[in-house]
Structure 1
Amino acid sequence: DDSLPNIKTTFRKLDQTLEATIRKEDRHHPVRLKDYSPWLTEFSANKLNVELEIPGQYDGQSKPLPQYHVKISGFSPEVTVMSSNKKPIKITILGMDTKEYPFLIKFGEDIRQDQRIEQLFGLMNHIFSVDMICSNRRFEIMTYQVIPLTSALGMIQWKSNTESLDAFLGRSANKTYQQDLSKSRNDYHLWISRPRLNQGDAYGLAAQEYHADKVIPKFRELANRFPKHILRQALWDLSINTENFIALKNNFLKTYATMCVCHWILGIGDRHLCNSKICLNSGKVLGIDFGHAFGTGTQILPIPELVPVRLTPHITALMEPFGERGQFKVYMVHCMRALRDNYRILLATMNVFIQEPSFDWLEHSRLLDEENDTPEATWYPQIKIEQARRKLQGEGSTRIMVEELEANNTLKYKDAYVNLVKNIRTVGRFEEMNNLSVEEQIDCLIDHSTDENLLGRMYAGWTPWM
């Protein structure tokens, strides 16, 4: 048929157009707001004679005064489609005060968990503010506003002038940093993968068969591909003088130590290089995306996370000459002591997870117990809040993680992973992993997080050697 070549040509052009559009979005090129919402594009508070507040101005800390809240004037005509899996959209709201307020619109996810975690962070910041030691040292965990609109749609405050840890490390590296990083992940994947095995089974078999004598040299070889002081150099490049560098470094270590403690209490996982951001003005660290919280990174994922917080070689190199046992540990001890002294108020606030479990929590309870999949099931949140209580009363990180691994009913090589965690060096120092002092608990947490035999078995996308 003569029309067949024309049809093929048409489809080829359509395919090329679609591919070009996808590439354009992946490069974060802006697109028009009217492509998504013509009504928002034409919105004008003056023309419509309406007053709409910019979201996120209610913090629950004091009586609201809406008469002083900033109102929406309009919307920027351009938006940015992000490159992550569900393509969230960054929009900019124009305020009556002539300022711009950027937000990230996420759809297809229940962000109520993120909102509640941010509220818990706010409570932790209040605890730090009334604790004399933490207040004098100005401890805080950086937060942002999360506004759920439905169970599958929400808005997240966009923190301007921040950069992911991944991009920040690339500042001081050579031009091939991203290619080198990708190559290291591919090499690690080839080293751990097995023919005709899926990723979960390949990692599980490695947990069972690969001895530490094989894992640790490979881990160190990957880490040595990148300059040891790459993070220090990135902070130095951001500084205008030595005094500024010392301030940026101190801000980074203080906020990172605070974040590590708070994240571990809430069991927050999935701390890959893009889920931590650095404020370019101050050097402070901001954690984002809490889809895996309360231990689900270990208990749910087919390749379980084996370390409680991210203390990888290039981060701990910034802590020299005293290392992670120096000032960084002191920061963690102060934060943990303040939270443990106020554990009752934290646990009371966490009860909202039991009273109103999010979709993710109900789904996790269904996966972990097929016989108890009713919406009224509250056993899963109760267990998670109980684990948080034990952490706040001196339980060690290894015992909690062993419990989470043993509860992972879909994990084929469960025993191998459990043995790895049970046999790290910290277990010999603390025979009983409960009722630890604050200093012992932080020692356990640091030992656990820096264990090279565990880091060398983490998922390649987590990039544990960086």
Structure 2
Amino acid sequence: MAPEPFSFVKSSSLDYPVNIRIIDLEGEEKPLRFSTLLDYPKLRHIGSNQSPHSDLYVTVQVWAGSKPLTVAVQTAYKSFRAERKWNEWLKLPVNYSQLPQNSRLAITIWDLSPTGGKFYSPAHAIPFGGTTLPLFDEDNQLYKGRQKCRVYRHEEADGSDNSGTPAIVMRKRAGSRKGAQVLEDKDAEELDRLEKLFKKHELGEIPRVDWLDQMVFREIEKRNLAAGKSSKKGESSKEGESSKAEEPGPSYFTLNVEMPRFDFPVVFADHEYPPPPVSSLMHLSSSQSGILKPPPEFRLGPGIGGMDDDEGYGGRLIQVYDPEVGARDNPAESKHRRLVRSQHRNGILDKDLKPNAKVRDELNLIMSYSPTHILSPEEKDLVWKFRYHLTGKKKAVTKFVKSVNWQDQAEAKQAVQVLGKWTDIDVDDALELLGPTFDSSAVRTFAVERLRKADDKELLLYLLQLVQALKYEHIQPDSDHEVAQDSSLARFLISRAVSSFVLGNYFYWYLMVECDDKSQDQPEEIQQLYNKIAYDFMVELVKQPGGKETRNTLLRQAEWVAILAKISGEVKEANESMFKRVERVKHFLADPKNELVTIDPPLPIPLDPSVEIIGVAPEDTTVFKSSLHPIRVVFKTTSGRKYPILFKTGDDLRQDQLVIQIITLMDNLLQKENLDLKLSPYKILATGISAGLTQFVPSMSFQSIASKYRNNPALAYLKQNNPDSHGPLGLRKETLDTFVKSCAGYCVITYILGVGDRHLDNLLLAPDGHFFHADFGYILGRDPKPFAPAMKLSKEMVDCMGGSTSEHYRQFKQYCFLAYSALRKNSNLILNLFSLMVDANIPDIKLEPDKAVLKVKERFHLELNEEDAIRQLERVMDDNLNALVPVVIDKLHELVQAFRA
């Protein structure tokens, strides 16, 4: 027989404030004698001594660990007539998810007294009685429903762990064994049983039968009255025996409260905190000792750590994780490694040591590992042993650096000597050595020497990441000397930026964005570091021939951006119609005071410094209908052409800028493989953390094309712009070839980058057949829509090629396979570029920075051979093409956009 399903809720997931309802106060006590009141005048003015229904109020406070967690919350004033009944819910300023296991409610009933009580009591109030109710029972379940709390007369509630005012007291029979909890008499036992049944009835655990319920309720009332009378007799007999009459006899007041009821039992569960980062006192990089090790797993023996242990310290075992110990190597393994390496540290024969066939295969396997792979201690020892042999293999340099124990000065010194003999390495390995896991200045200098051989065009492809790599240099931002003295990378970038205006233009704006980032994710010392680098760059620039003019040009660019930001901000905030917004922008641009009508001398535009603008064309201005209302401004250039741009305020364009940079790099890599896929990545430049420039490419979205043409809309659009009755599908062969190639390129690239939120509004088509994507707000597999496809291959795209059985679609798939294979060969370069952007405050990388590189690596499927990887890509394409969900998502998006319009 299968067990019944059991459901419960963890308290850590219950984000609901603690509530308690103060119902009423039950019980009586014999009034003080008149003679006692004469002897003690202060007693006659206390409210409860004047009337059995005097005014009282209740305060509730959460305690844990013998300390208060919250301030006290009290009931509103209420005048009692026949009974003390509040019937009021109190909300405490703490959620159930924040409660420790030993939380309890300290409930105090306050009596009124003109003379007041102790110094810590409220003014003109003394405690009538107190009680302390735990929030979790012995089974770690949250108390719910009605509770009868014993009131301790004349005492304030004690919220400590060993409370002297417990609300629930289990009475023991005399002579019972230790720990056995038995009620005193049969009447009290029967009352307790009926009380439990009554609570179950309230919670709905017992079915309701009206006629039977009324009989039971009357029986319970009779028993309660009988119990009250017997208690009074006991009190009077004890009072006759007592010689002191100043205090009344024992009172048995009970406070009835109610806790919230939930559909499922609420069980205590604490938050699971991740292991803390490695202490800054012991800064270890992954090139030294690997990664942060997880806490060791162990199991408790029988009887250990239980809550009901009678012996020992009791309580539960707490696992304390020491990050320094977690990051440190096993002492035995470390000693073994030192002994092994001591044999190959100063040996003369090491330089002539050659691996046999088996070892050579092992070394080749190690060199084929991706940058994210962690070498085992045995693999590190093998690389160190044959370090001289590997100096002739450029792909082995990163594995060698990871194998060195940089804490050992003798070993580190010899490693630097070996690096000096290494053959020329590739750029992707040099970029990996500049990442956050390599903190040796000698290693970083070695990587910079390789970058010196790159020309300006190649360096521009990686400049965005190299600016981010400055965060990992040993630069003191508060020092008086130049950063070039601290960092070989800073010295290199400044020297190349001052000698090339194009490099200097982008270097300047990349630095300005980092200086503008004052968010919590950007430490203040990092911001100061970039400020110092920008200052040193300007100082060095002025020293160059024509440097003052270049510096003035960069300052003019900043003023030009500020002017556009001003009008863009006004348009975004203005509550006007689209016509008035456009007129506002045109009037602003045409105003001579803003110095945009004529720009003299010509100004290189920051987005593309090879283009110089001489003025604005206000009549071509447009304001878009999106929420941020970006403006399209058209400028006249020195070549006689017009250059349209989009300026957007209120949006962080750094993620779009990164994606466009990676697409540009991938296009460059594909062309090196003689594979021109007609990619046309438009330019994007973030000028701040909430503003930027975008190149405007004349095109139409697939959504707009589909609304204009019904049958095969993309093909109809291309036919209208490039008709050819003798060409394939009725249009020029070059146009169709451009469309097929660009579709293949963007499908593969957006799949690798995990670009999400793909719909027909951000798939664009230029009149000459160039297909491209826009709006990269979701990358690395993130998507706001459920069941989103891994690759966006819409029906409109395939229909334009002639259908899924056509020759052009077969060519499209072949281009996809060729592009995927070519990019897989350069996967290390792409992964290293993403690893340098881990701390760049890119939104989708910032969510899970430790997994960003791994998400890109997963799309390459490096664990498969080339043939299997291509088959995997083909399955992704076929699944997307035959899926119904993408079509439904596009239709829903179309309906939403139509509703907004």
TM-score scaled by structure 2?
0.33
Q: Please name the residue that 1:44 is paired with.
A: 598
Runs of 4+ in 1 over 6 A off after TM superposition: 433-436
2:839 corresponds to 1:355? yes
Distance 2:826 2:594 in 1: 45
Q: Give the CA deviation at 1:325.
A: 6.2
Per the alignment, do residues 289 and 40 of structure 1 end up closer, same or farther by CA in structure 2, a change over 3 Å counting? farther
Matches for 1:13-92 after TM superposition, within 5 Å = 21-22=576-577, 24=579, 31-35=584-588, 38=591, 39-40=593-594, 42=596, 44-46=598-600, 50=601, 52-57=603-608, 69-78=610-619, 79-92=621-634
Q: Please name the residue that 1:399 is paired with.
A: none
Q: Please name the residue that 2:775 is paired with.
A: 289
Give the conservation status (yes or no) of the 8 Å contact 1:109–1:151. yes
Deviation per CA, 1:387-416, whole angstroms, max 9, x where unpaired? 111212357xxxxxxxxxxxxxxxxxxxxx
- For 2:690, the aligned partner's letter is A
Q: Please name the residue that 2:882 is paired with.
A: 451
- For 1:449, the aligned partner's letter is N
Q: Please name the residue that 1:93 is paired with.
A: 635
Q: What secondary structure does 1:103 align onto?
A: strand
Matches for 1:213-292 after TM superposition, within 5 Å = 227=711, 229-242=712-725, 243=727, 244-280=731-767, 282-292=768-778
Matches for 1:63-462 after TM superposition, within 5 Å = 69-78=610-619, 79-132=621-674, 134=675, 138-160=676-698, 162-173=699-710, 227=711, 229-242=712-725, 243=727, 244-280=731-767, 282-297=768-783, 301=784, 303-320=785-802, 322-323=805-806, 326-359=810-843, 361-362=845-846, 365=847, 380-394=848-862, 437-455=868-886, 458=889, 460-462=891-893
Aligned-residue RMSD, C-alpha: 2.9
Q: Give the CA deviation at 1:29.
A: 5.7
Q: Give the CA deviation at 1:273.
A: 1.4
Per the alignment, do residues 86 and 434 of structure 1 end up closer, same or farther by CA in structure 2, a change over 3 Å counting? farther
Distance 1:246 1:42 in 2: 42
Distance 1:32 1:164 in 2: 25
Q: Give the CA deviation at 1:455.
A: 2.7
Give the conservation status (yes or no) of the 8 Å contact 1:31–1:81. no
Q: Runs of 5+ in structure 1 lacking a partner?
A: 1-17, 59-68, 174-226, 366-379, 396-432
Distance 2:856 2:650 in 1: 28
Q: Give the CA deviation at 1:265.
A: 0.6
Q: Please name the residue that 2:214 is paired with.
A: none
Q: Give the CA deviation at 1:152.
A: 0.1
The more displaced of 85-94 and 315-324 is: 315-324
Q: What secondary structure does 2:756 align onto?
A: coil
Distance 1:455 1:359 in 2: 25
Deviation per CA, 1:100-136, whole angstroms, max 9, x where unpaired? 211100111110111111111111011111113x1xx
Q: Give the CA deviation at 1:450.
A: 1.9
Distance 1:73 1:151 in 2: 27
Give the conservation status (yes or no) of the 8 Å contact 1:310–1:449. yes
Per the alignment, do residues 332 and 296 of structure 1 end up closer, same or farther by CA in structure 2, a change over 3 Å counting? same
TM-score scaled by structure 1?
0.61
Per the alignment, do residues 123 and 233 of structure 1 end up closer, same or farther by CA in structure 2, a change over 3 Å counting? same
Aligned residues: 314
Distance 2:758 2:845 in 1: 20
Give the conservation status (yes or no) of the 8 Å contact 2:838–2:852. no
Deviation per CA, 1:187-222, whole angstroms, max 9, x where unpaired? xxxxxxxxxxxxxxxxxxxxxxxxxxxxxxxxxxxx
Give the conservation status (yes or no) of the 8 Å contact 2:679–2:770. no
Distance 2:579 2:892 in 1: 24
Per the alignment, do residues 71 and 319 of structure 1 end up closer, same or farther by CA in structure 2, a change over 3 Å counting? closer
Deviation per CA, 1:153-185, whole angstroms, max 9, x where unpaired? 00101113x222222334433xxxxxxxxxxxx
Give the conservation status (yes or no) of the 8 Å contact 1:305–1:459. no
Q: Give the CA deviation at 1:358.
A: 2.3
Q: Give the CA deviation at 1:233.
A: 2.8
Q: What secondary structure does 1:345 align onto?
A: helix
Which has the higher Rg, Structure 1 or Structure 2?
2
Q: Please name the residue that 2:497 is paired with.
A: none
Distance 2:874 2:597 in 1: 55
Deviation per CA, 1:249-295, whole angstroms, max 9, x where unpaired? 22212101110100111111222112122111x21112111111112
Distance 2:769 2:616 in 1: 30
- For 2:782, the aligned partner's letter is T
Distance 2:812 2:635 in 1: 39
Q: Please name the residue that 2:244 is paired with.
A: none
Per the alignment, do residues 234 and 93 of structure 1 end up closer, same or farther by CA in structure 2, a change over 3 Å counting? closer
Per the alignment, do residues 106 and 231 of structure 1 end up closer, same or farther by CA in structure 2, a change over 3 Å counting? same
Distance 1:319 1:101 in 2: 32
Give the conservation status (yes or no) of the 8 Å contact 1:73–1:96. yes
Give the conservation status (yes or no) of the 8 Å contact 2:617–2:635. yes
Give the conservation status (yes or no) of the 8 Å contact 2:589–2:618. no
Q: Please name the residue that 1:409 is paired with.
A: none
Distance 2:585 2:578 in 1: 16
Q: Give the CA deviation at 1:461.
A: 4.0
Q: Please name the residue that 1:15 is paired with.
A: none
